[in-house]
């Protein structure tokens, strides 16, 4: 009786703390489909439990798990992530020691059980808690610098996969945040990869890398001006090819100057083998993300030997052929979404009407789409995009009349449509590509928007999104029509799939995730030394506030006063210093004079 009362008290106390401190977890307590885990008693009377028949805490003195976890914390660490809440015994000492603890609990059932039966008030009061299988999202707004991650060991029997994903993401993010590797990103002049280039850049910056981007799209206008130079096709081709090579050389020059830790080249970047050979001489690892169909764009075999890392959206046959073409290290890295841009939107009534329809398609008018969509004209079907034959029956449905749309407009369409159609482009087929393997970015973009989509079957899709739960597919026109008919009258099912799809993308298919995966491969291969120079003792010393502190500590008040002219959070820029000095009138102070000399040594050379 006594213990039951005790547990009732825990339950009430925990429920109050959850409402107060973790309101987002409150709904989980009432989720219907979870299994109840009944508590047991340890030999000393404390509540413990078994998960699928396995004891998750010691059967004698579970409270001894506290000092054991604390003993694993490295000296000086202030923040930790612990995988597994259990009944919280292992967390007691780290919380008491004043560490900032973030708890990741992969099981809703265990969380419910703990909330109802265990004394976890101290956890609820002092820790951040994440519950559910989407464990990696914990990291998205988390500063991993100086943080240690630990697992409550019994969890690894059941959640090894989740923990491994979390750990790899964590370690990569931590390394990036701490070492700030300098990445030079080389992008295309024009084409479909333009946006991917921008998203990759954003993701790398978010992770904490120092990114120098060579955005070749700035040269797009001049590139296409070559078309006005002469109608002679051969000459135009040669001129464009020279221009492309020139941009490749510019990329080499930039890399030579910046000496980055890594050069990341996006598909279609203007780097041919001449420029690549020169890039290799810089002895900087070069990675390539070939976000293209290897069967359509075939230059990969020529450039393969020049890259240290070749990331692809296809594997199997492609990886075999890359190996034969001399690629060094090949890894699969599918496309992704950028949730900062691809997100659910609250639309105005006008937007809903203008951009909305039962069925919509957004994309270019490739041949297979032009043919296949004839079978869908019976629906309230709006088509958006470019390169459509506006005179055809399908073309009549093209709302924007081939005008180029902004990405913001896409997002509105995705959000306003009941069903978004996704059909991978194919130049060889008149409908669904029977050997289609890779997944286009649209799959992830639509899902990230929380939009419902029907997508043609692709062999790589099931590994990325669970069909029927997180996404819905079709293999033929008949199946597509059946599903359109079904889902148009089942909005709740559409919403459930769309919600699950968005969750999945946020967890596994963002550009940040992709960059984590890419950098994990590169870190593990390049070894401990990768980008380590930044971590040398001098690191951070050029941050203005640190320099001010150092000057004060040394009693150099004049220097400290001078440094206060600059943004304390930023690295001191010698250009800003010399601009500041040049603006000043009259005689130079000592600090100014010395800075002019520093400038001579470090900048003018």
Partner 1 sequence: MKKILILNFTRIGDLIQTSPLLAGLKEEFPGCHITLAANISFAGICKNLPHIDKMEVFDPKQFIHTDGGQTSIADVYSYLDNFVARLAAEKFDMLINLSHSNLTAIMGRMLNISDVRGIVSDGEGNRIINDPWLMYFSSLLSFRRYNTFNLVDLYQLGGGVKPKGRGLFIDSAGPERLAAPLLAEFGVADGERVIGIQAGASMKERRWPSRNFAKSADILARRWNAKVVLLGAAAEKELVDEVSAAMEAPHINLAGKTTLEQLIGVVKRCAVLVTNDTATMHIAAATGTPIVALFLVHAYGFETGPYCDKAILLEPEIQCFPCLHSSTCPHYACLDYVTPEMVADAAELLVGHPDGVPAVGAETFPRVRLLTPYFDQYGFLDLRPLKKTVPSDTDILARIYRQYYMRPFGVGSGKEYVAGYLDAHYSRTDAEELRRWVEKKLDVFRKLSDVAGEGAEIVGQAGRDLKNGRMDKVKKMAQRFLELDRAIEMAGLAHPELMPAVRLFNMGKANIGNAAPAALLGQSRALYAGMVGFAAFVMERLEELLK
Footprint on this chain of partner 1 (rule: CB under 8 A):
259, 261, 533-534, 536, 538-539, 541-542, 547, 550-551, 554, 556, 559, 572, 574, 581, 585-588, 590, 592-598, 600-602, 604
Using CA atoms, how far residue 255 sits from 184, 230, 260, 274, 529, in Å, is 7, 33, 7, 15, 20
Q: Is the CB of 371 or the CB of 588 nearer to partner 1?
A: 588
> Which DSSP string corresponds to 346-393?
---HHHHHHH--SEEEES---HHHHHHGGGGTTS-EEEE-SS--TTST
Report the residue number, 408 or 536, with the smaller CB distance to partner 1.
536
Query: What's the CA gap between 18 and 205, in Å, rounded?
Result: 34
Q: Which residue has the tokens 């008919």?
A: 485
Q: Least Å distance between CB 549 and partner 1?
A: 10
Rounded to the nearest whole angstrom, what is the least distance from the CB of residue 565 to partner 1 in the complex? 14
Q: Given the complex with partner 1, which of 84 and 208 has the nearer CB atom?
A: 208
What proportions of the chain, in percent to the nearest 5, are helix, strand and coil? 50, 15, 35
Nearer residue to partner 1 within complex by CB, 505 or 572: 572
CB of 203 to partner 1, least distance (A): 23
What token pair was written down for 56? Answer: 């998750």
- Please check whether residue 497 is in contact with residue 446, taking contact to mean a CB–CB distance below 8 angstroms: no
Count of CA atoms in the C-beta half-sphere (13 A) of 33: 1
Tell me which H or E stretch contains 521: helix 511-526
Rounded least distance, CB 602 to partner 1, Å: 6
- Provide, rounded to whole angstroms, the least separation between the CB of residue 258 and partner 1: 9
- Which residue number, 391 or 597, has a Cβ lying nearer to partner 1? 597
Would you say 391 or 601 has its CB closer to partner 1? 601
Shortest Å, Cβ 580 to partner 1 = 12
In angstroms, the CA 293 to CA 357 distance is 31
Q: How far is the CB of 171 from partner 1 (least distance, A)?
A: 23
Nearer to partner 1, 151 or 551 (CB): 551
State the minimum distance, in angstroms, from the CB of residue 605 to partner 1: 9
**Rounded to the nearest 10 degrees, what angle do helices 156-179 and 193-207 cross at?**
90
Closest to 547 measured CA to CA, from 514, 521, 574: 574
| Nearest in space to 272 (alpha carbons), one of 235, 302, 305, 237 | 302
Which residue, 164 or 600, has its beta carbon nearer to partner 1? 600
Residue 350 or residue 528: which is nearer to partner 1 going by CB? 528
Least Cβ distance, residue 50 to partner 1 (angstroms): 53
389 contact partners, CB below 8 Å, separation of at least 6: 365, 370, 395
Half-sphere exposure of 315 (CA within 13 A, CB side): 11
């Amino acid at each position: 009786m006594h213990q039951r009362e005790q547990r009732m008290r825990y339950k009430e106390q925990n429920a109050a703390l959850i409402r107060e401190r973790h309101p987002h977890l409150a709904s989980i307590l009432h989720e219907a489909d979870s299994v109840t885990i009944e508590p047991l008693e340890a030999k000393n009377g404390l509540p413990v439990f078994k998960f699928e028949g396995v004891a998750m805490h010691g059967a004698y003195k579970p409270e001894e798990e506290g000092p054991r976890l604390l003993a694993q914390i490295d000296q000086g660490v202030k923040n930790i992530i612990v995988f597994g809440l259990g009944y919280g015994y292992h967390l007691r000492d780290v919380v008491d020691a004043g560490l900032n603890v973030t708890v990741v609990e992969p099981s809703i059932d265990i969380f419910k059980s703990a909330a109802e039966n265990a004394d976890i008030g101290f956890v609820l009061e002092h820790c951040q808690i994440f519950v559910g299988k989407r464990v990696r999202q914990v990291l998205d707004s988390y500063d991993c610098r100086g943080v240690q991650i630990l697992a409550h060991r019994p969890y690894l029997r059941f959640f090894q996969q989740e923990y491994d994903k979390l750990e790899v993401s964590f370690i990569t993010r931590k390394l990036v945040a701490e070492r700030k590797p300098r990445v030079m990103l080389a992008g295309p002049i024009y084409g479909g990869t333009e946006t991917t280039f921008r998203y990759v850049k954003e993701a790398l910056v978010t992770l904490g890398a120092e990114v120098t981007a060579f955005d070749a799209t700035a040269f797009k206008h001049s590139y296409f001006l070559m078309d006005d130079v002469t109608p002679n096709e051969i000459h135009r081709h040669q001129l464009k090819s020279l221009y492309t090579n020139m941009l490749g050389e510019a990329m080499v020059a930039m890399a030579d100057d910046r000496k980055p830790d890594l050069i990341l080249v996006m598909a279609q970047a203007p780097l041919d083998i001449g420029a690549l050979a020169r890039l290799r001489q810089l002895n900087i690892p070069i990675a390539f993300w070939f976000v293209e169909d290897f069967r359509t764009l075939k230059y990969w075999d020529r450039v393969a030997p020049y890259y240290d890392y070749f990331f692809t959206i296809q594997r199997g046959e492609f990886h075999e052929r890359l190996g034969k073409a001399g690629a060094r290290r090949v890894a699969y890295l599918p496309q992704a979404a950028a949730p900062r841009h691809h997100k659910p939107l609250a639309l105005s009534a006008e937007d809903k009407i203008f951009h909305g329809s039962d069925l919509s398609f957004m994309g270019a008018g490739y041949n297979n789409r032009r043919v296949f969509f004839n079978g869908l004209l019976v629906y309230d079907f709006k088509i958006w995009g470019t390169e459509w034959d506006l005179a055809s029956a399908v073309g009549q449905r093209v709302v924007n009349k081939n005008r180029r749309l902004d990405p913001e407009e896409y997002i509105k369409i995705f959000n306003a449509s009941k069903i978004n159609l996704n059909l991978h482009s194919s130049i060889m087929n008149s409908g669904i590509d029977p050997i289609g393997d890779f997944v286009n970015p649209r799959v992830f973009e639509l899902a990230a928007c929380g939009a419902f989509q029907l997508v043609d079957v692709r062999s790589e899709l099931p590994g990325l999104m669970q069909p029927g739960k997180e996404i819905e597919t079709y293999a033929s026109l008949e199946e597509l029509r059946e599903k359109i008919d079904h889902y148009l009258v089942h909005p709740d099912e559409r919403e459930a799939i769309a919600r699950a799809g968005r969750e999945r993308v946020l967890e596994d298919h963002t550009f940040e995730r992709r960059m984590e995966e890419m950098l994990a491969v590169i870190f593990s291969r390049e070894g401990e030394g990768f980008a380590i120079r930044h971590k040398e003792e001098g690191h951070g010393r050029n941050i203005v506030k640190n320099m001010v502190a150092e000057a004060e500590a040394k009693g150099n008040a004049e220097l400290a006063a001078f440094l206060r002219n600059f943004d304390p959070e930023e690295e001191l820029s010698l250009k800003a210093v010399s601009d500041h000095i040049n603006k000043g009138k009259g005689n130079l102070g000592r600090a100014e004079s010395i800075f002019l000399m520093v400038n001579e040594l470090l900048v003018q050379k």
